[in-house]
Structure 1
Amino acid sequence: MAVWEFAVLGTQKMRAPRIRRLRKVNESCHCKLVWQIKYEDSMMAYFFHARFDNSDGSMKGGYKSSSVWTGIKKVWDFVSSNEKWAIGDGERTLFCHDKWLGSSSIANMSSLNHSLFQDLDTKVGAFIKEGKWVFPPVSSSFIKEIFDKVGKLPISLGFSKDICSLENFSMKSSWEGLRQSQPKVGWLKLIWGHYLQPRQSVFGWRLLQGKLPCDDKIKARGILFPSRCELCMIEEESINHLFLECKCVRYLWSSFSSIFGATFTSYCSSMVLSKWWSQKSRVLGLKDALWAGYILIPYFIWLKRNSRRFNSVSRNFRQIFNSILGKLHRMSPSMKGRVASVFDLVCSRNEILENLALEVSSETVAQE
């Protein structure tokens, strides 16, 4: 499930896809239902509590003929593991099974078999008398240690009832806990610029992930056929050759980089190039134009490759370069930047962009 949204990152406004795994979204909905069963004061909660929940807060064993039983069973322990109680009168919190004394329950702190605690449903309120802790004499060193730790806790007389932190539960918080998050990547801003079309951003993502169906990728799946680069007509086609190594492609990268006063050199992969491109943008105030070029150059290369292979239509690289500059010129009203260097001053002059537009208009072939 993917929904396009505008995200504001610092001062940079970007269009990025909000992608959710439907399986995790479904599990988040079941987390919401489990929370309602355990803590909501309603007839629905009473019904499900009687059917699925034991008095100690655990889930009943066995199989229940219910459409929601399987989903509830999967997330019950997840919801329980994220509970944390703040003690008020102690009448809602189980002394041994709920997490109110630290990050785990007393039953989990103990080295004893958990089955010994199964039938213990004593509430914390049983040890509170007239606003003070009252404990019976015990011989167990573990229970004595627990009583000593509990006795140091202040009793929150301001609360009429115990409060569970899950009472501020939301589907977003459960989804964040269930999903497997990945570290942020450095090329995010290169491909999700608000000035780019969604198809161009998706193309950039596929390029960096190596998901474009170039000849080398197809051969890796066991489909053998003769391969030739549609640009130089000499070497075999591979994703690195097509977008980085081909002498015709290097002309595009070098020509575009020279506009910003940079020198393009050889790079082994698009991912390595993205790091250099991002570093180069740090010394420029007109980042949007440079970032857009990183996607537009391979995007127009891909269009030329497909046009020549499937439609037998050929264009020289001067035309392609002019098409890239023309596209960049049309994007310029939505781009932002500040003049931070001499190169910024040169690139930001209106007459430069106007000259580019005049040069492009004479020989641009619109195929986007």
Structure 2
Amino acid sequence: MTLRDTNRAMLCKFVWRIKHEKSEANAFLKAWFVKKDGRFRKGGFSSSIALGVKKVWNIVEENERWIIDNGNLANFWKDKWWGLKSMLEALQLMDLPNLRFNAKVREFIHSGEWALTGVRLVDLSRFFDKILKIKIPSGGVEDMYCWSLSTLGSFSTSLAWEGWAKLNSDGCTLGNPGKAGGDGILRNAKAEVLYNYREFLGICTNFEAEFQVIIAGIKAVD
């Protein structure tokens, strides 16, 4: 895991909030970044934040999924709710006659059962057969977005810190140069102490003392 990976994880979390969390700030940013049809605005950005968002937008879209309940929020054609791809992505067709691409999933549910007979296209029959096997929940709550890369379905940047360790150290001298010593503490991503140490470093400058105590901590990691 590198700092670049961590930066990408933080940007992905930022995009997730823009797309799915409700607040005035996110509503403002969503109006700036997202078109009315839900697609990302590709041009007209000059800020570094906007450029970062642009880089990870597709990563978030590829890994977000809908969990269907009442079908009021998920788009039947454009959202990923029935499989790994949206219906349009699976069909690989953009010119489908007489179809409303803004239709919600609820429009294909009647009396707790799937109602797919109104769409009469041969290309769709193989996908509808799979959808008919999906059990329709009866909880009456809103559809929910989830993050497919997490077993819990929630997006957490803590995943980006797994396997990391943080070293805090300090070196000093009595005089410069002079008798030197230093100490340090190593913690994991949960702030649990893995190792602590202190060392006499002999006679050296304060600059050398700082570096020697860092090197001692790095050796402890190895």
Taking the aligned partners of 1:56 and 1:40, their CA distance within structure 2 comes to 18
Q: Root-mean-square deviation (CA), in Å? A: 3.0
Q: Could you tell me whether the CA contact under 8 Å between 2:6 and 2:161 is conserved in 1? A: no
Q: How high is the sequence identity, in percent, across the aligned residues? A: 33
Shift of 1:159: 4.6
Taking the aligned partners of 2:63 and 2:161, their CA distance within structure 1 comes to 12
Pair 1:22–1:132, CA change in 2 (3 A):
same
Q: Could you tell me which residue of structure 1 aligns to residue 123 of structure 2?
A: 142
| Runs of 5+ unmatched residues, structure 1 | 1-19, 178-192, 207-368
1:172 aligns with 2:166: no
Q: Could you tell me which residue of structure 1 aligns to residue 44 of structure 2?
A: 63
Pair 1:162–1:200, CA change in 2 (3 A):
same
Taking the aligned partners of 2:32 and 2:96, their CA distance within structure 1 comes to 24
Q: Could you tell me which residue of structure 2 aligns to residue 128 of structure 1?
A: 109
> Which of 215, 219, 222 is the aligned partner of 1:199?
215
Shift of 1:200: 4.2
Shift of 1:204: 7.9
Runs of 4+ residues over 4 Å off in structure 1: 114-117, 193-198, 203-206
Shift of 1:202: 3.0
| Runs of 5+ unmatched residues, structure 2 | 148-152, 163-193, 199-213
Shift of 1:205: 7.7
Q: Could you tell me whether the CA contact under 8 Å between 1:31 and 1:75 is conserved in 2? A: yes
Shift of 1:69: 0.8
Q: Could you tell me whether the CA contact under 8 Å between 1:37 and 1:46 is conserved in 2? A: yes
Shift of 1:127: 0.9
- Return the letter of the residue paired with 2:143: D
Relative CO higher for 1 or 2, CA cutoff 8 Å, sep ≥ 6?
2
Can you list the C-alpha shifts for 1:123-158, whole angstroms capped at 9, x where unaligned? 212112232211243442221222222122111111
1:79 aligns with 2:60: yes
Q: Could you tell me whether the CA contact under 8 Å between 2:70 and 2:141 is conserved in 1? A: yes
Larger fraction in helix: 1
Answer with 1 or 2: which has the greater Rg: 1
Can you list the C-alpha shifts for 1:289-315, whole angstroms capped at 9, x where unaligned? xxxxxxxxxxxxxxxxxxxxxxxxxxx
Q: Could you tell me which residue of structure 1 aligns to residue 92 of structure 2?
A: 111
Larger fraction in strand: 2
Could you tell me the TM-score, scaled by structure 2's length? 0.64
Q: Could you tell me which residue of structure 2 aligns to residue 153 of structure 1?
A: 134
1:89 aligns with 2:75: no
